[in-house]
């Protein structure tokens, strides 16, 4: 009985092993892609937030402390668009989200005074 099972399965064993190895490689590649994708997104987020803070500080320096927060936020957004266009393209925040982020950075830098 065992000989019959071996004779039936043996010709397909290399194909089964090949399929299992291919599946494991595919799974490993998917894990690596996910890990690097998360790291790249994190770097883009960090670049965006850093540029927003720099833009807020620059906006205050150029416009002065009497400028409205909306004016400083607009200057910050303009700086972000020119300094980290790649991060903006990859993250693709809406204009509203970008403006709200800029306003929060303006609030942070003005509270430090």
Based on the structure, what is the number of domains in the chain?
1
Average pLDDT, the chain: 88
pLDDT digits (tens, 9 = 90+) for 81-92: 999 999 999 999
Q: How far is CA 72 from the centre of its chain?
A: 25
pLDDT digits (tens, 9 = 90+) for 28-72: 888 877 777 778 888 999 999 999 999 999 999 999 989 999 999
Measured distance CA(74)–CA(68) in Å, rounded? 10
94 class by beta-carbon count within 10 Å (0-12 exposed, 13-18 middle, 19+ buried)? exposed
* More confidently predicted of 13 and 21: 21
What residues make up the domain containing 64? 2-111
b/e map 60-75, b = 16+ CB within 10 Å: beeeeeebeeebbbbb
């Amino acid at each position: 009985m065992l000989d019959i099972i071996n004779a039936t399965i043996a010709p397909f064993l290399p194909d089964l092993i090949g399929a299992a190895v291919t599946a494991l490689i595919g799974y490993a590649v998917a894990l690596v892609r996910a890990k690097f994708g998360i790291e790249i997104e994190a770097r883009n987020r960090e670049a965006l937030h850093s540029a927003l803070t720099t833009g807020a500080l620059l906006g205050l320096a150029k416009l002065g402390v009497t400028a409205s927060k909306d004016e400083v936020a607009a200057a910050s957004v303009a700086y972000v668009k020119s300094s980290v266009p790649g991060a903006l393209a990859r993250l693709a925040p809406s204009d509203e989200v970008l403006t709200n982020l800029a306003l929060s950075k303006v609030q942070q830098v003005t509270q430090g005074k």
